Structure 1
Amino acid sequence: MSLGYVALVLHAHLPFVRHPESDYVLEEEWLHEAIIETYIPLIHVFEGLQRDGIDFKITMSMTPPLTAMLQDPVLQERFDDYLGKLEELTELEIERHAKNGHMRYLAEYYAKEFHEVRKTWERYDRNLITAFKKFLDSNNLEIITCGATHGYFPLMKMYPQAVWSQIQVACESYEETFGRAPKGIWLPECAYYEGVERMLADAGLRYFLTDGHGILYARPRPRFGTYAPIFTESGVAAFGRDQESSQQVWSSEVGYPGAAEYREFYRDLGWDAEYEYIKPYIMPNGQRKNVGVKYHKITGKGVGSSDKELYDPYWAKEKAADHAGNFMDNRSKQIQHLNGAMGRKPIVVSPYDAELFGHWWYEGPWFIDYFCRKSWHDQQTYEMTHLADYLRGNPTQQVCRPSQSSWGYKGFHEYWLNETNAWIYPHLHKIAERMIELARMEPTDELEWRALNQAAREVLLAQSSDWAFIMRTGTMVPYAVRRTKSHVQRFNKIYDDLKIGKVDSGWLQKVEAIDNIFPNINYRVYRPM
């Protein structure tokens, strides 16, 4: 008989980046990298656990932009080419390091890894949604949704129709993708404001995730803190992030990913190799970039890039097993203590960005694999659960009003509203107002119908919190600025054309081909509620 529950929650999200109008856009490689380093490795972990009879339970959000991109033929074809270049490069690397034992070992390791990625990619006919749906159908994976384009809800709340559209379009997209309605939602950036739960209830959602302080500062104060969900007055449950388990994994300073044995993210063959040799595998304009082949390990805190030692996957895997055992022991002690203090079974909710596992922390999928196996075989203190199963088994919880919160810097909204990105919000507010206005229109022909639906897509794409986030971090800022401006400008042209009753059909067709997310969207989703 277990004393409590542990719930791993992975948030899988990338912004919608798809440029069929260009031969090469660097930002499309965000998806390629995540497929190779995160999504396919997770599929391998889940397949291995099922094969060995381990009834694992994990909650995973898959956002509408990500599911759309994973099913897109243009991006699938481009991933094929990307992976093919990596396979070619690693074969050259094996030849280049024929007389260097450890370097050849690493080159052969990468060649084998990319070969396994290729096999899995082709086994699922280039559609990884098929793989994840298989684990959803077996009830090992609880897949939840998110905002339609990861819009930041608290900064949209003055336009309820805009928030509702993010929620409703996401639920419709989920049902089209997975053949069923979602039970839960990852609020984008875990950002909550009072009242959004009523829209979640109207959309048929059963629960959402927020940061821990959103629960701790709820009214009345929750008796069990973040170690039990609360029910909002709408009936929708709120789960709060556990700070202790999150920091152990998330932090590169005090958490596991900073271990000396693990692969160094910032040292890459794309920068280390001689220019003429690596030129065919970097950007077409000749600019260097990461290619995904990394030969060095973290080595130690404060060690300079040039002093990094060579990586060894064997010892890194051993360290991941050690860390998984430590994580299991810590959760067991935590559950034992909480059970004694609470007088009931606690649940420890540990949410992370999925891309941490594999992309940023290369050994992360191994860690998840070992943790699931050790939890199954080596302890009886807790059981792993996903959030839908937990609510089915624990239908009675305290009713409270959560506190406004996010999991960003300082826990509220300033990461997405500050001096780097404040300029975008007057534009986002204006196009939301105009979209609500357009939603009252009745189209006179099919062209106007298409224009109204495309206007709705452009608003949703402009609202992506990723653009404000990138502006704040200071990386790839020109791209984030360009994307925000392009969606606002496209919307405004459609608006102006509709107001004068003359839609530019040729231009609209080109925009529909580029921003083709949500093919079945109905612009009336923006009508007053």
Structure 2
Amino acid sequence: MTREGTFCLVLHSHLPWLPHHGSWPVGEEWLYQAWAHSYLPVVDLLRRFADEGRRDVLTLGVTPVLAAQLDDPYSLRTFHEWLGHWQLRALQASTLWRDDPLLRDLGAAEHRAALRATEALETQWRHGFSPILRSLVDSEVLELLGGPLAHPFQPLLDQRIRSFALRSGLADAALRIGHRPAGIWAPECGYAPGMEDDYAAAGVARFLVDGPSLRGDTSAARTVGSSDVVCFGRDLEVTYRVWSPKASYPGHANYRDFHTWAHEVGLKPSRVTGQQVAPQDKAPYDPALAADTLRVHIKDFVDTVVTRLRRLRERNGREALVVAAYDTELFGHWWHEGPAWLEGVLRALPEAGVRVTTLRGALEAGHLGPPVELPASSWGSGKDWRVWDGEQVADMVEDNAALQKRLLAVEPGAFRDPVLDLAVNEAMLALSSDWAFMVTKDSAADYARRRARVHTERFDALIRGEKAFPLDDRVFGHLDARLL
């Protein structure tokens, strides 16, 4: 079979720290939904591939702050309770919907899914995510990407804090799974010229940027500046086929609608039906219709990748690389059919003559082009920094800059100080990129502002020697303020 080229799927798994910070509609519920509907199915898929002897299937980024939540005893216990409620809600739905065959079957399917998730949590996940992740890394079914501690927008950090957050984040991965990642998903794909030197100093060999950072030429990885650090760019022509700001597969009329709830049972009973259709007028979800559409979209994506690789090979005179990168939470949480789509694509691409591998595997296959000078960039709106330093969040940017000054003014002693360690932990949480993103996108903006303020206030209180609040956010037990 003729080799068409190389394809890399990169998934970025991240949520801000949510335990003990509210439940509904934003807070712990967000964690449990993503856990049940994305993380469990994606891990199940990877385990099946590993059992089949598949290697280098995809590249998986897991942020330290998400790994901490998926290992946290409190989160494991409360997620188990949430799964129990899911079972009860599904049973109630089957009763309420008994006169509608489609909805009655949906309730039964939800109950089976809740039972499977509960069994997985009680067996495979009973000690948290890290043992599972280590087994997947050891089997080489995936390449793991790490990142800075609490997912800060790195270009807006003081270089010392940026370096500390990255080195501590890589150390966190090494402690949890016994492997220090060689690559990272830079939070929000944020880049400022010169950051490659920080990466090199931290032992980072490769990272992701968005396609426009490479002026659209993403057909090979590139070394950055005069360093040996390699960047990979998202191929937006292919990536946007699945998920884009304007149109994408998950919006098809036959897929399950993310936004429409049956609040009496807390389930999503509708299909998209139409973008302008009111929630009360949407048709019931029909799994058979969704499955038919899914087969079409798997074929469409495979055809898109093959066509893109052939066109790049004709243009460049050599075998090309396509990198498609998404948030892991798209698959299952936002897009109900996403995990099945993932499996279908990862099985169909090799049959179409495409090498499916990891970023590491792409370099081993020779997909390395000449050096490049990267501009300041991100994968956010405008592909610049406006989401995280624009007018809507100017006050947050100012507050974060002042927080960093106070953080750098702290003088640790010769021995570890648990109070000071916790203060730095709170500063890291305050500097998460999620808060500015949520404000700019007007997505639970009040919650985001409150979270940024709470963690900043806790930092200041700890530095002043006050401890008049619950210490529930001991996220990174290894964090050592002296290293800052």
2:173 — aligned with what?
174
How many Å separate the matches in 1 of 2:232 and 2:58?
A: 15
Q: Pick one of 420, 428, 432 that aligns with 1:464.
A: 432
* CA separation of 1:52 and 1:390: change in aligned 2, threshold 3 A: same
Structure 2 unpaired stretches of 5+: none
TM-score of the aligned structures, taking structure 1 as reference length: 0.87
Corresponding residue SS for 1:323: helix
1:286 — aligned with what?
none
1:519 — aligned with what?
477
Deviations 1:349-390 (A, max 9, x none): 1111111111111111111010011123x311x201100122
1:288 — aligned with what?
none
Deviations 1:24-47 (A, max 9, x none): 885111110001111111122223
Amino acid at match of 2:258: F
How many Å separate the matches in 2 of 1:441 and 1:517?
A: 20
* CA separation of 1:213 and 1:261: change in aligned 2, threshold 3 A: same
How many Å separate the matches in 2 of 1:214 and 1:413?
A: 12
CA displacement at 1:494 relative to structure 2? 2.7
Q: Pick one of 335, 338, 342 that aligns with 1:361.
A: 335
How many Å separate the matches in 1 of 2:361 and 2:50?
A: 18
The reply to whether residue 231 of structure 1 matches residue 203 of structure 2 is no
1:412 — aligned with what?
384
How many Å separate the matches in 2 of 1:247 and 1:18?
A: 32
CA displacement at 1:426 relative to structure 2? 2.1
How many Å separate the matches in 2 of 1:150 and 1:363?
A: 27
Corresponding residue SS for 2:443: coil
Mark the structure with the bigger radius of gyration: 1
Contact 1:317 1:366 (C-alpha < 8 Å) held by counterparts = no
Corresponding residue SS for 1:5: strand
2:413 — aligned with what?
442
Deviations 1:422-468 (A, max 9, x none): 11122211221222221x4325x76xx12221221121111001011
1:187 — aligned with what?
186
Contact 1:49 1:373 (C-alpha < 8 Å) held by counterparts = no
Contact 1:19 1:25 (C-alpha < 8 Å) held by counterparts = no
Q: How does 1:128-147 map to 2 (within 5 A)?
A: 128-147=129-148
How many Å separate the matches in 1 of 2:310 and 2:68?
A: 42
Deviations 1:218-258 (A, max 9, x none): xxxxxxx2111110222100111111111100137432111
CA displacement at 1:23 relative to structure 2? 8.8
The reply to whether residue 197 of structure 1 matches residue 190 of structure 2 is no
2:116 — aligned with what?
116
How many Å separate the matches in 1 of 2:164 and 2:3?
A: 41
CA displacement at 1:51 relative to structure 2? 4.3
CA displacement at 1:55 relative to structure 2? 4.4
* CA separation of 1:103 and 1:3: change in aligned 2, threshold 3 A: closer
* CA separation of 1:239 and 1:515: change in aligned 2, threshold 3 A: same
* CA separation of 1:206 and 1:37: change in aligned 2, threshold 3 A: same
Q: How does 1:219-258 map to 2 (within 5 A)?
A: 225-232=217-224, 233-251=226-244, 253-258=246-251
CA displacement at 1:74 relative to structure 2? 0.5
1:485 — aligned with what?
453
How many Å separate the matches in 2 of 1:77 and 1:354?
A: 23
1:312 — aligned with what?
286
1:76 — aligned with what?
76
1:61 — aligned with what?
61
Contact 2:273 2:283 (C-alpha < 8 Å) held by counterparts = yes
How many Å separate the matches in 2 of 1:350 and 1:96?
A: 42
1:102 — aligned with what?
102
Q: Pick one of 314, 332, 352 that aligns with 1:340.
A: 314
How many Å separate the matches in 1 of 2:27 and 2:146?
A: 23
Indicate the larger mover: 66-75 or 419-428.
419-428
Amino acid at match of 1:226: T
How many Å separate the matches in 1 of 2:46 and 2:412?
A: 48
Structure 1 unpaired stretches of 5+: 218-224, 279-290, 498-502
Amino acid at match of 2:374: P
* CA separation of 1:249 and 1:194: change in aligned 2, threshold 3 A: same
* CA separation of 1:178 and 1:479: change in aligned 2, threshold 3 A: same
The reply to whether residue 452 of structure 1 matches residue 420 of structure 2 is yes
* CA separation of 1:476 and 1:254: change in aligned 2, threshold 3 A: closer
Corresponding residue SS for 1:226: coil
Indicate the larger mover: 27-36 or 475-484.
475-484
Deviations 1:148-207 (A, max 9, x none): 111111222xx2111112211111111111211111011110011101111111111110
Indicate the larger mover: 128-137 or 33-42.
128-137
Deviations 1:27-81 (A, max 9, x none): 1111100011111111222233344555461011100110000000011111111
How many Å separate the matches in 2 of 1:84 and 1:262?
A: 26
* CA separation of 1:494 and 1:479: change in aligned 2, threshold 3 A: same
Indicate the larger mover: 143-152 or 202-211.
143-152
Indicate the larger mover: 352-361 or 421-430.
421-430
Amino acid at match of 2:305: R
How many Å separate the matches in 1 of 2:296 and 2:55?
A: 22
Aligned residues with identical type, % of pairs: 29
TM-score of the aligned structures, taking structure 2 as reference length: 0.94
Contact 1:3 1:345 (C-alpha < 8 Å) held by counterparts = yes
Corresponding residue SS for 2:193: coil
How many Å separate the matches in 2 of 1:190 and 1:26?
A: 24
